[in-house]
A and B are shown apart, each in its own frame.
Chain A
């Protein structure tokens, strides 16, 4: 299994600013992902964070808005850029190891944009 720590756990930000969310895994993992959970809704995959290369974004999400880094096999960051109130969501980091069939999730970052 893998334990995932996310920072910050929550934040309130002014519109037009950017926030970087950190995701640290306690072991090396092959795949890392970022999801968004809008209020009262399900999880939507933003992108796959690729180690050493550009992230792979899902339809509707772009690098300029959600730049992602993954410098090594245990760490990734997601930046929410030029925020608007519509970006208010929970952002979750997820990781997958080849030894397990299931993904593990961080506790999430609750973002409120005012």
Chain B
């Protein structure tokens, strides 16, 4: 079945460091890919998305490119801030009309001042 594998955390970085959180997926067909962020005590918020191969999603300095050849959707940010501290979830949606989501295990990011 479909699945999402995400690098384990926690990831601890200093402010202004470069961030990469790896995400790979297994899917039949052509899923849509997402990164969601969960700040402490809050629900999930969409960070960025890509709906087809080679699409690049971007938002708030974060980027991820849908790589079909490597089945990856790695999240990157050039310079993290303390306010980026949160849990990041990679997810895929089966484009089969069911709109079910499969989530990765989540990666906790802690950014130190």
Contacts and interface: CB of A to CB of B under 8 A. Distances in A.
B43 A101 contact: no
B43 A92 contact: yes
Interface in B54-113: 89, 93, 98-106
Interface residues of B, number: 21
Contact of A43 (B32, B45, B89): B89
Q: Counting chain A CB atoms within 10 Å of each CB, which of B34, B36, B93, B101 scores highest?
A: B101
Majority DSSP secondary structure for residues of A touching B: strand
B17 interface: no
B34 A102 contact: yes
A101 B103 contact: no
Contact of A92 (B44, B98, B99): B44
Majority DSSP secondary structure for residues of B touching A: strand
A107 B100 contact: no
A100 B68 CA distance: 22
Contact of B103 (A42, A96, A106): A42
A94 B98 contact: no
Interface residues of A, number: 20
B96 to A, nearest CB: 12
Contacts of B34: 102
Interface string B33-61: 01010000011111001010000000000
A75 interface: no
Interface string A51-65: 000000000000000
Interface of A: 31, 33, 35, 41-45, 48, 92, 94, 96, 101-108
